[in-house]
Structure 1
Amino acid sequence: MKRILIVALIAFALDRLSKVWIVHWLNLRERGFIEVVDPYLNFAMGWNRGINFGLFAGNDDAARWILIAIAVGICGWLLWWGRQQAGLWMAVGCGLVIGGAIGNVWDRLQYGAVADYLNMSCCGIRNPYTFNVADVFIFAGAALLIVVSGRTQDKA
């Protein structure tokens, strides 16, 4: 459990630092868009009141609190489940998902929505969506859990 919490704390801290730096210090909140290495990486301010790609977004306060409760519940379950698993990579996967989810919960508490700011495009296709470091950690942690848990299953 200690490894899960350490990874979660590191992921959470990196997410918070990135948001403080980009959203506040670079003032992306008011600027709206900062060209970094166009079109491959730009900072574009987005406020996500829902889940991925704005799904289930609602402007009412109830939706915000429901999403917070779901995220906290998933984190609690992952912490409980992760304690029972063996191996460093399972702990890293659980910690990344938990740290990222708590980072997005923090946003919902602080701003009322998740602060998204990373925008990546390529090959002549302009991506209209934004995401954040917490989303990267959640995705990477979930992918790692899928890969590692598949290796521990019996082949029978």
Structure 2
Amino acid sequence: MISEVTLRGIEDADLDILFEFMRDPEAARMAAFTAEDPDDREAFDAHWRKIRGNPETLNQVILGDGAVVGSIASFVMEGDTEITYWIDRAVWGQGVAGRAVALLLEQVTVRPLHARVASDNAASMRVLTRAGFKSVGTDIGYAAARKAEIEETILILS
């Protein structure tokens, strides 16, 4: 059981671990909105170069008892600040996501803050609503991990 959760900036050495997390088929299915090919390391590295170079994006790794157990970020899309996170499936159910979101919300004070989640991802919905996000609607989007259009819930923290 993870006792301490902290955040820190992403370092080059973290990318190998994050790549492996994102290749987990079950985790990718839950996240739904992922890269087209989770095994394409070149595309993964290009994506991370782009987002790490964007001054409007805050990227951090999530540390559980000092080990990398996920990533969390805020970014601007179409004028809205959004958050996203990815948790290693090995630590699901240990409160890591909720604690990481709370820590990020201490750093990212922009409101309203937006989030989107696959509507059938009950665990992520709980994390966000416990953090104060409210569902404001749904949308249909293409989920690469499922190779289908699915419903996503749009949430806002005021």
TM range (shorter): under 0.3
Q: Which has the larger radius of gyration?
A: 1
- Point out the structure with the larger strand share: 2
Normalized against structure 2, the TM-score is what?
0.24
- Point out the structure with the larger helix share: 1
Normalized against structure 1, the TM-score is what?
0.24
